[in-house]
């Protein structure tokens, strides 16, 4: 948010001079429903205007950027009631006047609540078009080079680290649509289960739309490396699944280097999580138990749990998750496969630096 505000100041000064309040999109909806200016601390900490330790706006940053504090809304913890539906909003929407509105959270913070990743050691993995690795912490960890997002959690007194991969299941969708559009995803993936770990020396770099974590590089590009005449479609499919898994592991490694030493379990959701073959590859690459849960709409479900805590259905977020979120299956890492991937992962890590200069040149062709 902060760079956008500065962009408006520099490029649209007439608009900047009219600013009286700054709200995130969902908080503008809150304002229209309740007449109150408010933001949750999870979303607020993503503006670059926050003091993570204090869990509130940073006076130092605001002064440095010339942004008045009174432009910004009051901050609240995720389960707190910020306001109530007004009579006018009730008339326009059909909602009941006086209905409490809670602070809530950003999409990934609410997603983590929705799958029960609410304490240190439990990591949420969203395997959608993009891939998100979300780790709850009990203190404000910082990755010194800025390759991980560090935010307040939607849960009072907790924070989180987050890594984002731009083309996770999106890589598989591209591969399917380009090379095997007539096959179902199950038909495409099944033969990959018979290919040994490492796809007999074939690697896939999943940077099809640039990358964010661990390389914030819009000019990064994807690649198959190691293709030989012995490789068939099943090998290429497995290489895609493994390449995404390696790319997601990069976030885990950065989190460990930032001080997150305890990872007991990964709770996976998203379209890619439906594949048992892919789940097994992920468990083997991460060397950690991978669990699916009973909630399929994680972010919306998490927002509902936060609201339930806010109105007293449960005493706190931990209790809400314990009462509603259940494991539906577990995939455990296999010792021999883990050892195999420990040898292959360093080779994958060499791909980006080896290809960086070339792909940057190709982006201009």
Tell me the catalytic residues: 107
Q: What is the number of other CB atoms lying within 10 angstroms of the CB of residue 96?
A: 9
What are the helix and strand counts (H, E) for the chain?
A: 15, 15
Question: 258: closest CA among 44, 52, 47?
Answer: 52
Per DSSP, the three-state class of 287 is: coil
User: Phi and psi (nearest 5°) for 186?
Assistant: -60, -40
Q: What is the DSSP letter of 35?
A: S
Q: Are 120 and 262 in contact (CB under 8 A)?
A: yes
Q: Which two tokens stand for residue 336?
A: 């021999």
Q: Are 218 and 205 in contact (CB under 8 A)?
A: no
Q: Are 75 and 39 in contact (CB under 8 A)?
A: yes
Cα radius of gyration (the chain): 22
């Amino acid at each position: 948010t902060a760079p956008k505000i500065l962009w408006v100041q520099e490029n649209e000064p007439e608009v900047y001079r009219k600013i009286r309040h700054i709200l995130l999109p969902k908080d503008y909806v809150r304002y229209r429903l309740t007449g109150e200016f408010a933001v949750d601390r999870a979303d607020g900490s993503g503006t670059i205007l926050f003091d993570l330790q204090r869990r509130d706006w940073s006076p130092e940053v605001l002064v440095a950027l010339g942004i008045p504090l009174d432009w910004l809304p009051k901050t609240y913890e995720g389960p707190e009631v910020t306001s109530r539906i007004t009579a006018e909003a009730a008339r326009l929407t059909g909602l009941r006047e006086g209905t409490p509105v809670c602070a809530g959270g950003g999409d990934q913070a609410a997603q983590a609540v929705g799958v029960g990743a609410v304490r240190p050691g439990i990591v949420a993995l969203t395997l959608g078009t993009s891939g998100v690795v979300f780790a709850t912490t009990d203190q404000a960890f910082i990755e010194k080079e800025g390759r991980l997002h560090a935010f307040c959690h939607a849960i009072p007194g907790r924070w989180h680290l987050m890594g984002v991969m731009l083309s996770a299941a999106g890589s598989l969708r591209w591969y399917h649509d380009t090379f095997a559009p007539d096959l179902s995803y199950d038909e495409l993936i099944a033969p990959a289960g018979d290919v040994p770990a490492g796809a007999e020396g074939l690697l896939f770099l999943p940077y099809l739309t640039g990358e964010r974590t661990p390389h914030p590089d819009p000019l990064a590009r994807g690649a198959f490396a190691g293709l030989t005449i012995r490789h068939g479609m099943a090998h290429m499919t497995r290489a895609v699944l493994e390449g995404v898994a390696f790319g997601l592991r990069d976030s885990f490694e950065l989190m460990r280097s930032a001080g997150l030493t305890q990872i007991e379990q990964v709770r996976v959701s998203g379209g890619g999580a439906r594949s048992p073959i892919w789940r097994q590859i992920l468990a083997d690459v991460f060397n950690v138990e991978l669990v699916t849960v009973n909630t399929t709409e994680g972010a919306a479900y998490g927002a509902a749990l936060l609201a339930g805590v806010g109105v007293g259905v449960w005493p706190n977020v931990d209790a809400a998750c314990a009462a509603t979120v259940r494991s539906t299956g577990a995939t455990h890492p296999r010792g021999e496969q883990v050892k195999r991937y420990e040898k292959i992962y360093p080779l994958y890590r060499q791909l980006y630096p080896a290809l960086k200069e070339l792909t940057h040149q190709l982006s201009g062709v």
